[in-house]
Amino acid sequence: MGMKLKTKKDEIWITEEDGEGGTARFLVSPMTPKEDLELLEKCKVKEWDRNQRFETPDLWMFRISKIRKVILDWEGIEDEKGKPLEFNKYNLELVYLYNPTLIDRVLVKADKLGERKAEEQEDQIKNSEAGPSGPAKKGE
C-alpha cells in the first residue's frame, strides 16, 4: 500500500452574498502571507531617475496577479441581463473592475484562510522539532 501525500494547494469554495438575496460561490486557492510577499516582489516596476534605478511596487499588477492566482472558478455570477457569466481571465478582470468590493471580500476571506494555513504549517514544523532534551521517549 502506497503513501498518499499532498501534491497540490488547497482549493475551497467561498460563498458571497450581494445583500439583495443573490449569492455566488468562488473556488479559491488561498495564498499564505509569505506567498503574498513573493508575488509583490515580482510585481515591481523599474524606473530611472538621474541615472539611478528604482524599483517600486506596481500595486495594480499585484492585485490582478493575486486575483488570477487565488480565484479559480465561480458559480452564480451573471451579467446585467441575468445570463451566467463564463469564468475566464477576461471576465474575472471585468468583474473586478466593475465590482471591486465583491472581489475584495472574496480575497479577504481567502487571505484569512491563507493565514490560518500558514499558522498550521508553522505549528507542524514546531511540533516536529525535538525539544531541548531531544524527542520525548515513549511513556513520558
What per-residue confidence (pLDDT) applies to 78? Answer: 94
**Average pLDDT score over residue span 99-109:** 95
**Average pLDDT score over residue span 94-100:** 94
What per-residue confidence (pLDDT) applies to 41? Answer: 92
* Phi and psi torsions of 42, nearest 5°: -75, -20
What per-residue confidence (pLDDT) applies to 132? Answer: 59
- Whole-model pTM: value is 0.76
What per-residue confidence (pLDDT) applies to 16? Answer: 94
Q: Given its phi and psi angles, is residue 138 left (phi above 0), alpha (psi -120 to 50 degrees) or beta?
A: beta
Q: Give 54's contacts (C-beta < 8 A, 6+ positions apart).
A: 46, 47, 48
Angle (CA) 111-117-121 rounded to 5° is 145
